[in-house]
Amino acid sequence: MKEIEQYVKEITLGLPDDEKEELREEIYAHLQDHVKELLIKGYSEENAVRQAIESFGNQGKLNRELKRTIFPFYKPIRFVWCVIFVTGFLCLVSYSAMEYYHPEFDNSLPLYSVLMGMLIVTLITGTGEVLYEALASQIKVKWLLNPWLFFLMPSLLFGGIQTPLLFKHPEQYQDSLWLDLYAVPIGAFAYIISRQLFTLLFVRNKNKLKRTTVH
């Protein structure tokens, strides 16, 4: 039953190995039992599988609930990590560009500029995460909730709208100043990367850390 296998895989996506395998076995067994009951009642296999999956619930919502249970502070910690990562990345890009175009100047970043940048990143990404969570509970079309699409596409659209300014007023965007026009899409790209890095470093390695501690 490939449909059930894929459904269970999506429910347990991103969970630690130990919990993932145990949950997969439990959920798969439960769904198989439900399918067998429906087959006895006269449902076709296709309808029985679909009915069993629908009765169990939306896989995306179940996945989020499991992550919330296993990692109660997962999202707040991930958000703080992402804000720090994006702020640091944008500061690095700005500093590197200024060093490249104007190495004769002192291109150090004042602390207040870094803090102001962090505040702006927090407000923009925080708004994005709130909208993402609100839509995640309402929309069942999985591809619409892909983080790459949700966070990157609006920022690319915004950057595209800003691009004519580069041609209308080229004198205002000399050297590295053209990066200002694309700060939002660059930041969005860094934000998505930071989200995936967090999953890779924290979630997937949590099980390895547990094993090391036990041994």
Average pLDDT over residues 5-11: 88
Number of alpha carbons in the 13 Å side-chain half-sphere of residue 119: 6
Per-residue model confidence (pLDDT) at position 37: 93
Beta-carbon neighbour count of residue 191 at 10 Å?
24
Q: Which segments within the chain are labelled E, that is strand?
A: none
Q: Is 70 helix (H, G, I), strand (E, B) or coil?
A: helix
Confidence of residue 144 (pLDDT cuts 50, 70, 90): confident
Give residue 133's region: left, alpha or beta (phi > 0; psi -120 to 50).
alpha
Q: pLDDT tens digit string along 49-101?
A: 999 999 998 887 888 788 778 777 878 989 999 999 999 999 999 999 989 98
Average pLDDT over residues 4-29: 84
Specify the pLDDT at position 194: 95
Per-residue model confidence as pLDDT tens digits over 33-47: 999 999 999 999 999
Residue 102, pLDDT > 50, answer: yes
pLDDT band at residue 147 under the 50/70/90 scheme? confident
Model's pTM, two decimal places? 0.68
Number of Cβ within 10 Å of residue 124's Cβ equals: 17
Instruction: Considering only residues 139 and 24, tell me which one the structure prediction assigns the higher pLDDT.
Output: 24
Quote the pLDDT of residue 173.
87
User: Which of 14-23, 72-81, 181-190, 205-214 reaches the highest mean pLDDT?
Assistant: 181-190
Mean pLDDT over the full length of the chain: 85
Residue 215's SS3 state is coil
